[in-house]
Structure 1
Amino acid sequence: MTPTGRLLTHLRHVDLAVPDYDKQLDFYAGVWGLTEVAEDSGISFLAAEGSPEQYIVRLRAAGEKRLDLVSYGAAHRADVDTLAERLLAQGVRLISRPERIDTPGGGYGFRFFDVDGRTIEVSADVEARRHRRIEEKEAIPVRLSHVVLNSPDLARTKAWYEQHLGFALSDTLRSPHAGDLIHFLRISSQHHSMALAKGPHTSLHHISFEMRGLDEYLRGSGRLLRAGHRKLWGPGRHLAGDNAFTYFLDPHGNTVEYTTELEELDEDTWHPHVYDFSRPEVTDQWGTANPMNELIAEESFNDVDRGCFVAPPV
C-alpha cells in the first residue's frame, strides 16, 4: 500500500459489450492496431504489443451495447483484500468477493459497482504478458492510456472515486456558463488514468490508447482517416495533461482516442488547475484540430448505458 493509503496502481483494461461483434473485432484487431490473444464463444481479448497487460480491451457479443467493466490493478493480493473489506464497510455494493480470476493471465480480484452503477474490477497477481518495444514509425498502441466516463452528477461521482478508491484531482475544465465539465483524476504520477465528464446520462465517454510518440500518433491517425473511419476531433494537443489527441468512432459509436506524451507530474508539489473550457487554447494548444462544438460533445455523450447496476454475465 502506498504511504497515502492508495491501493490502486494502474488501469488494466476496459471491457465492452457489442451487438455487432464481428465488425467491432475487425476494427480493434485490424485498423486500430490491437492483437487478439484469446477468443472464447463470442468473447475476444485484445492486447497492446507494448504492454505487459494480458489484454487492454475485451469485446463480448451481446444484444445490447454497454460498458461491461473498467479494471484496475493493485500491487498485492493483500491490497485486494484490504480494499474489498474497506468498500464493504463503507457500504459499497460488491458484486463478488476476492477470488481467483478465470481470464487470460489469471490473478486474484473482485468486482463492485461505483456510485453510478458501473462495474469496476480490481485485481493483483495477474501474470505479465510477453511484450516488446514498439519501434520507430510503428503506429500501433503501446498501452492503454486512460478512460473517460460520463456522469450526470459530476461532483458526486468525483467525490466517490476520491473517497473510496484514492483518486486525486489533477485538473478541472470549467465553462463560464455550465460550470465544471471534466475532472481529471490520477492514481499515480500520470496526469490521469480516469476522467469524469459531465453528461446527461451514465455512459462511456472515450477510451484512450497511448502511441509511441508524435510521429506514430500522426501515422496512426492518418491510417484511420485513409481507411474511411469517422474522425470526431483532432489532431490537436490538450492543455490539461498536455497530450496529443485524435478522436474517432468505433463501428458501434464508442469514442476512441489515439494520444501520446500524457504529462507526468510531481504529486508532492502539484496543485490542480481550473481551465476555462471556452478558450480555444485550452482544448487545443496547437490550433490544428477542428473547433470543439456541441455536435462533437453530443457524440461523446454516447448512448445511455443499459448496464448500470447490472453485473456483466462474465
Structure 2
Amino acid sequence: MTERLITHLRHVDLAVPDYQTQLDFYTNAWGLKAEHSDTGLTFLAAEGSPEQYVVRLRQSADKRIDLISFGAKDAADVDTLAGQLARDGVRLVSEPGDLQTPGGGYGFRFFDNEGRTVEVSSDVGVRQHRAIEEGESIPVRLSHVVINSADPEGTRAFYEKHLAFALSDTLMHPHMGEMMWFMRVNSWHHSMAIARCPHPSLHHASFELRGLDEYMRGTGRLLRAGVEKIWGPGRHLAGGNTFSYFLDPSGNTMEYTTELEEIDEDTWHPHLYDSTNPDVADQWGTANQMNEFVATKSFNDPDKGLFVAPPV
C-alpha cells in the first residue's frame, strides 16, 4: 500500500453566485468567523480550530467546489507526494511551492479522477484559537467532507491508491448496491466520504460542535432562525456521529455533528451496512425518514468546476 503522507482535512473552498447572502449565512447563522477578507473572497475560521480557515468563500458566476485541502507533516512529504502523483500520471495544477493564502505554508494542487481540485500543504501557520465554552453552539472544527461521484468506485480507488485513504465502512442498498464509502486518513472514522450520484458535486460539509448539548442547541438555533433543515437530528451508525443537515442559501448541504468515532486503525475491520435498516440511518429514531426529497437535495447541482482550477 502507498505510504500515507497526508495527515488531516484542512478546509473546503466553495464558489457561489450569491456571495453576500452566503457570507451572511456562514457568519451570522452557522457560526464561523470571517477573517482575511478581500473583494469577493472571505476566509472563514472555526473558533476552536488551529486551522487558519475551514471554509473559503469566493464570488463566482458558477457554483462549484473550488478546492478540498489536506495537510501533510512537512515539506519533504509534500514534495514526495507531488512526485508520486506526477509519475502516476495525475495532472498537477501547480507544482510544490510557497502558498499565498492565510498562514502561508508549502503545498501544491492537482485534479482528482473526476476533476476536483485538491490541495496538499504543510507548514501552515497555526491560528490563535480558543476552547469553545460549555453551551456555545458554534463549530469547533471542520469534521469531514462528503463528495458526490458519478464513478464512486473509481473515485474510491483514486484516493486509496494515490493518497492512502483507508475504507472505514460502506453503506449499501439491497436493490442499488453499494452507495457510500467512508474514508479515513487518521484515527477519525472518516475525513471524507464518497456517495454514488448521477454527477460530481458537494454532498455535504460537516462541522463538529463541542458536545451533545451544544449540537442540539445549534440545531435549535438554526431552526428558530428559519434555516431549512432537510434531515435530523439523529445519530448515524457508521461513524456513530450525530447529524442535523441544513441547506445554505446556495443549496449546499451543511451538517452540524458531534462525537464522530475515533478508531484503532490497526484493528479496525470495515462494516457493510444495509441503509434500509432504520437503525443504520438513525440509531435514535428521531430524524425524519431518509426519502427521495432528502436524497435529491444532497445530490446538489452538478459541479461546474471540474478540471478547471480556481483562479485563487
Structure 2 Cα separation of the partners of residues 259 and 208 of structure 1: 7
In the other structure, the counterpart of 2:83 is: 85
| Percent identity for Structure 1 against Structure 2 | 68
SS in 1 for 2:232: strand
Of the three residues 296, 301, 304, the one matched with 2:302 is 304
SS in 2 for 1:129: coil
Of the three residues 123, 126, 143, the one matched with 1:125 is 123
Cα deviation for residue 64 of structure 1 reads 1.2
SS in 2 for 1:156: helix
CA offset digits 1:128-161 (Å, max 9, x no partner): 0000000000000000000000001111110110
In the other structure, the counterpart of 2:9 is: 11
CA offset digits 1:266-311 (Å, max 9, x no partner): 0000000000001110000000000000110010000010100000
Cα deviation for residue 65 of structure 1 reads 0.7
Structure 1 Cα separation of the partners of residues 86 and 34 of structure 2: 35
Structure 2 Cα separation of the partners of residues 44 and 156 of structure 1: 33
In the other structure, the counterpart of 1:289 is: 287
Of the three residues 64, 67, 74, the one matched with 1:66 is 64
In the other structure, the counterpart of 1:95 is: 93
Runs of 4+, deviation exceeding 6 Å: none
Of the three residues 261, 265, 269, the one matched with 1:267 is 265
Structure 2 Cα separation of the partners of residues 202 and 58 of structure 1: 20
Cα deviation for residue 107 of structure 1 reads 0.4
Question: Match for 2:238: what amino acid?
Answer: A
SS in 1 for 2:94: coil
Structure 1 Cα separation of the partners of residues 92 and 51 of structure 2: 24
Contact 2:2 2:162 in 1 (8 A): no
Cα deviation for residue 4 of structure 1 reads 6.9
Of the three residues 250, 253, 270, the one matched with 2:251 is 253
SS in 1 for 2:95: coil
1:171 corresponds to 2:172: no
5 Å-filtered alignment, 1:231-242, equals: 231-242=229-240
Question: Match for 1:308: what amino acid?
Answer: L
Cα deviation for residue 116 of structure 1 reads 0.7
CA offset digits 1:144-192 (Å, max 9, x no partner): 0000000011111101100000000000000000001100000001000
Question: Match for 1:18: what amino acid?
Answer: V
Structure 2 Cα separation of the partners of residues 117 and 170 of structure 1: 24
Structure 2 Cα separation of the partners of residues 117 and 15 of structure 1: 15
In the other structure, the counterpart of 2:179 is: 181
5 Å-filtered alignment, 1:114-263, equals: 114-263=112-261
Question: Match for 2:144: what amino acid?
Answer: H
Structure 2 Cα separation of the partners of residues 60 and 50 of structure 1: 23
TM-score with structure 2 setting the length: 0.99
Structure 1 Cα separation of the partners of residues 152 and 119 of structure 2: 21
Cα deviation for residue 38 of structure 1 reads 1.1
Q: Which runs of 5+ in 2 are unaligned?
A: none
Question: Match for 2:45: what amino acid?
Answer: A
Structure 2 Cα separation of the partners of residues 266 and 253 of structure 1: 36
Structure 1 Cα separation of the partners of residues 81 and 160 of structure 2: 14
